[in-house]
C-alpha cells in the first residue's frame, strides 16, 4: 500500500502535468490566432474576441467545477473534464469561418476550468501550513502558456497552423489516461452529502471573496490576457516574425508560471497580505513604464530643431514584461493562500468563484485591448487599462486591509501603554 505522502506528491505531480497541458490548449489561439487573423482579415477587436473566447467558458465553468470537486472528488472531475475537450480541440483544424472558430473555441475553453479542480484536489492532500506551496507547485502549470509559445510556432512553420489542434488533441487524450493511472481518491476530502447547493453558493455573499476576486482578476486575468496578446503585440509593434515574437512573449509567460511555487512558499512564510501588497506595487510600477507610448518630441534649440524619441525598445520592453511576469506569478499564489487560510473547508467553491473572476478578467481584457487599439491607435493603451485595474486593487486593499491593520496595531499599543502606566 502506498503511503499518504507518496499519494499526495503523486497527485500534485500529475495534476501539475495535466494542468500544464490544459493551459497549453487554453492559450493555443495566442499563436495560431495570428495566422487565422491574417487568413480571415480580422481587425484588432475581432482578434481580441477570437483569442478570448476559450477563456470565457473556462471561467464560467469554474464555479460548478469547484462544487463538483467538493462533492465528487478532484480525480474523477479532472479526468472527465480533459476527455470532453479532446474532440473540440481536433475540430478547430477544420474551421474556416469566424463563427466556427468562436463556437468550437467555447468548448475548447472548458480546459481552462481545470485550475479550479486541481487547486482544490491538491490542497486537501496537505496540512494547512504547506498548502500554499502545494497550490503554488500546481499553479506552475501556467507555464503551459510558455510551452505553447515555444512549441506551436515550430508546428505552424513546419506543417501549418491546422496541425497544432491535431497534435494538442492527441496530447490531451494521452495526458488524461496517464493522469487517471497515477492519481488517487481520498473519500475524506469530499464535503458532506448534506451540504446543499445553496450553502455552497453562499460564498457569493462574502465581501472578502469579492476582494480576493478583484486581486485575482489582475494577477491571473492580466496574466492570461497578456499571454494571449503578447505574440501579436511583438509582431505589430516591433515587426518580428511569428516564431521570434512567440519566443519573446514566452519571457513573460515562463516566470508567470514557474515561479508560482515560489510565491506559495513566500505566502506560507510571510502571509498572503504582505506578499499581495508588494506584488501589486511592483505590478503598478512595471505597468507605468509599459503604458508610455512610443513618442517623439521636437524642440527648438540654439542649433535649430531637434527631435527626441521616447519609448521602450524590444529589449527593455521584454525585461519589464519579465519582471511583471514574476510579480504576477507570486501574486497568483498569494491570493490563493488567502483562500486556504480563510476557507479550509470549501476551497473548491471559493476557488471557483475567485477563479471565475480571474478568468473573466482574462476574457474581457483582450477584447478591451483590441477595442482600445482600434479606437485610439495606441498599442500601449492595453497597459494603460491594466495600470488602472491595479490601482483599483491597491486602493481596495488599502481601505479594507491596511488601514484596519494599522488601526488594530495602534489599539494594541494603547493597551500596552495603559498597562505600563498602571
Q: Does domain 4-189+199-421 have CATH number 1.20.1250.20?
A: yes
pLDDT along the chain (422 residues), means of 10: 78 92 90 91 90 87 83 90 95 93 93 86 81 80 83 89 94 95 79 60 74 87 87 89 87 77 82 89 94 86 84 90 91 83 74 81 87 89 92 88 66 55 56
Domain-wise residue ranges, the chain: 4-189+199-421
Q: What is the DSSP string of 66-84?
A: HHHHHHH-HHHHHHHHHHH
CB 172 within 8 A of CB 89: yes
Q: Is the distance from CB of 329 to CB of 135 less than 8 angstroms?
A: no
Residue 74 near residue 118, CB atoms below 8 Å: yes
Q: What's the chain's Rg over C-alpha atoms?
A: 22
Task: Please give the grid coordinates belonging to residue 39.
Answer: 487568413
The per-residue pLDDT for range 363-401, each reduced to its tens digit, is: 888 889 989 989 998 888 999 999 998 998 898 888 887
CB-CB contact of 352 with 62 (8 Å): yes
Chain centroid to CA 331: 10
pTM of the model as a whole = 0.74
Please choose, from the candidates 388, 395, 288, 397, the residue with its C-alpha nearest in 3D space to the C-alpha of residue 335: 397
pLDDT in tens, 391-414: 988 988 888 877 777 665 565 555
Amino acid at each position: 500500500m502506498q503511503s499518504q505522502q507518496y499519494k499526495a506528491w503523486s497527485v500534485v505531480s500529475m495534476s501539475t502535468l495535466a494542468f500544464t497541458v490544459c493551459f497549453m490548449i487554453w492559450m493555443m489561439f495566442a499563436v495560431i490566432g495570428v495566422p487565422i487573423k491574417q487568413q480571415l482579415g480580422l481587425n484588432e477587436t475581432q482578434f481580441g474576441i477570437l483569442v478570448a473566447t476559450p477563456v470565457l467558458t473556462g471561467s464560467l465553468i469554474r464555479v460548478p467545477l469547484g462544487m463538483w470537486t467538493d462533492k465528487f472528488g478532484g480525480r474523477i472531475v479532472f479526468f472527465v473534464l480533459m476527455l470532453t475537450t479532446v474532440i473540440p480541440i481536433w475540430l478547430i483544424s477544420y474551421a474556416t469561418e469566424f463563427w466556427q472558430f468562436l463556437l468550437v473555441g467555447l468548448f475548447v475553453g472548458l480546459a481552462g476550468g481545470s485550475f479550479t479542480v486541481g487547486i482544490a484536489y491538491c490542497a486537501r492532500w496537505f496540512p494547512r501550513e504547506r498548502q500554499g506551496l502545494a497550490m503554488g507547485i500546481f499553479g506552475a502549470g501556467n507555464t503551459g502558456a510558455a510551452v505553447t509559445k515555444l512549441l506551436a510556432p515550430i508546428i505552424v512553420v513546419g506543417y501549418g497552423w491546422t496541425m497544432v489542434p491535431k497534435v494538442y488533441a492527441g496530447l490531451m487524450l494521452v495526458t488524461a489516461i496517464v493522469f487517471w493511472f497515477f492519481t488517487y481518491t481520498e473519500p475524506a476530502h469530499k464535503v458532506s452529502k448534506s451540504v446543499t447547493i445553496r450553502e455552497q453558493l453562499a460564498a457569493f455573499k462574502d465581501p472578502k471573496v469579492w476582494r480576493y476576486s478583484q486581486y485575482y482578476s489582475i494577477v491571473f486575468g492580466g496574466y492570461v490576457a497578456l499571454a494571449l496578446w503578447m505574440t501579436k503585440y511583438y509582431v505589430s509593434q516591433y515587426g518580428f516574425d511569428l516564431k521570434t515574437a512567440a519566443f519573446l512573449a514566452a519571457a513573460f509567460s515562463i516566470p508567470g508560471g514557474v515561479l508560482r511555487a515560489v510565491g506559495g512558499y513566500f505566502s506560507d512564510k510571510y502571509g498572503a497580505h504582505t506578499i499581495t501588497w508588494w506584488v501589486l506595487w511592483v505590478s503598478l510600477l512595471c505597468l507605468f513604464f509599459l503604458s508610455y507610448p512610443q513618442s517623439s518630441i521636437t524642440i527648438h534649440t540654439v542649433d535649430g530643431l531637434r527631435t527626441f524619441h521616447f519609448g521602450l525598445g524590444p529589449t527593455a520592453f521584454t525585461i519589464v514584461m519579465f519582471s511583471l511576469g514574476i510579480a504576477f506569478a507570486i501574486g497568483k499564489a498569494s491570493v490563493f493562500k488567502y483562500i486556504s487560510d480563510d476557507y479550509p473547508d470549501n476551497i473548491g467553491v471559493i476557488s471557483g468563484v475567485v477563479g471565475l473572476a480571474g478568468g473573466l478578467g482574462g476574457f474581457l481584457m483582450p477584447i478591451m485591448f483590441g477595442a482600445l487599439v482600434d479606437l485610439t491607435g495606441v498599442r500601449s493603451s492595453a497597459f494603460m487599462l491594466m495600470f488602472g485595474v491595479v490601482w483599483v486593487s491597491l486602493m481596495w486593499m488599502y481601505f479594507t486591509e491596511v488601514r484596519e491593520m494599522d488601526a488594530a496595531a495602534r489599539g494594541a499599543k494603547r493597551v500596552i501603554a495603559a498597562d505600563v502606566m498602571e
